[in-house]
Amino acid sequence: MVTFLSFIFVLGVLIFFHELGHFLVAKKLGIKVERFSLGFPPNIFSHKYGDTTYSIGMIPLGGYVKMAGEFPEEEATGAPDEFLSHPISHRAAVLFAGPFMNYALAILIMAGLYLFVGVPYYDPDRIVVGEVMDSSPAQEAGLQPGDQIITVDGRAVSAFDSMKVAVNSRVEAPVRVSWLRGGDTMSASIVTRAAEVPGLQGGIDTVGEIGITEQAAGYEKYGVGEALTHGFVQTHVILWETLKFLKQLVTGEMSTKMIAGPVFIAQQSGREARRGPARLFFFMALLSVNLAVLNIQPVIPILDGGRLLFLLVEKLRGAPLPLKARLAVQYVGILAVLSLTLFVTYNDIMRLLGRL
């Protein structure tokens, strides 16, 4: 239930803000909005207020804002409140507003985390276990939150990073870990599990891990100005890493097995929710940036970036593409989205089965 509710909450917020961007700019520019929908039919809620029907669909994997005269197959009347009656600059602003709203949302979430939660700091002289992952080698060995790790393979350790280096070098191999619990010293030989992480020089590295995090000694909060600054910077760090990941996918440095879909998002939403609200909101900010980047890419015709590309073509040609060409491209875009959805869902299922 936690996983389901977290998934609905995370996707619901991201989709709502994305579609709200389209909606607000369209309204501001005098474009009639016929429908504002969260999720896809069949609908569990629908109500018309003014010119717009607001609805919530049972399939929570997206949403849409339907504007008057928006699609090429519609019979345009030339009314001033129709989407296609407006200049290219207006239509581009409406399309760009969705991804921009996700980008802005990520900044606000990150700023809120700096303001209300703060940045964790750690004891420089000891390693205290924070979280022990379910079904991890550490859990099987008996490690618990609050334990203090003192040695790895007989060598004293006092910094989490140095412990990670020692563990990462052992892939599916035993590593002897000793820790303190109360006044008792405990020890176990732990066989690490393999994990794939982005390599420093690009590509993917395989490392060993035992499945623990470090417990923070405390949190340092920021004022409003500093929180906004740090939120802006951190969002752009995430944005840069997302773009770098896409580049590595295109160049083949990164395996397409690393692409995740709705099943993974649902699982991860549940995990982060169990770790606390701050972790869930950080995950939401991460997804919000990813959603903005995905939508602004010009390679999928029916997404915002693809439609912006067609507006650029229209600007250069001095006229829209012929109706048949636009319809054909629209069908290709729908096929591309369906194919991508099937592919990432396949990845998610293989990951669940332990085959990725």
Catalytic residues: 19
Q: How far apart are CA 39 and CA 60, in angstroms?
A: 4
Q: Where are the alpha helices (DSSP H) in 214-321?
A: 224-251, 262-275, 277-296, 304-317
- One-letter amino acid at 316 equals L
Note whether 127 and 259 are within 8 A (CB).
no
Long-range contact set of residues 309-315: C-beta below 8 Å, sequence gap at least 24: 311/88, 311/91, 311/92, 311/95, 314/88, 315/88
Cβ within 8 Å of residue 142, ≥6 positions away:
186, 188
Rounded to a whole number of angstroms, the distance between the first and last alpha carbons of the chain is 26
CB 21 within 8 A of CB 97: yes
- Measure the CA–CA gap between 224 and 6, rounded to whole angstroms: 28
d(CA 175, CA 209): 10
Q: 7: closest CA among 65, 64, 59? A: 59
Among 133, 140, 168, which Cα is nearest to 152's? 168
Ramachandran category for residue 228: left, alpha or beta (phi over 0 → left; psi -120 to 50 → alpha): alpha
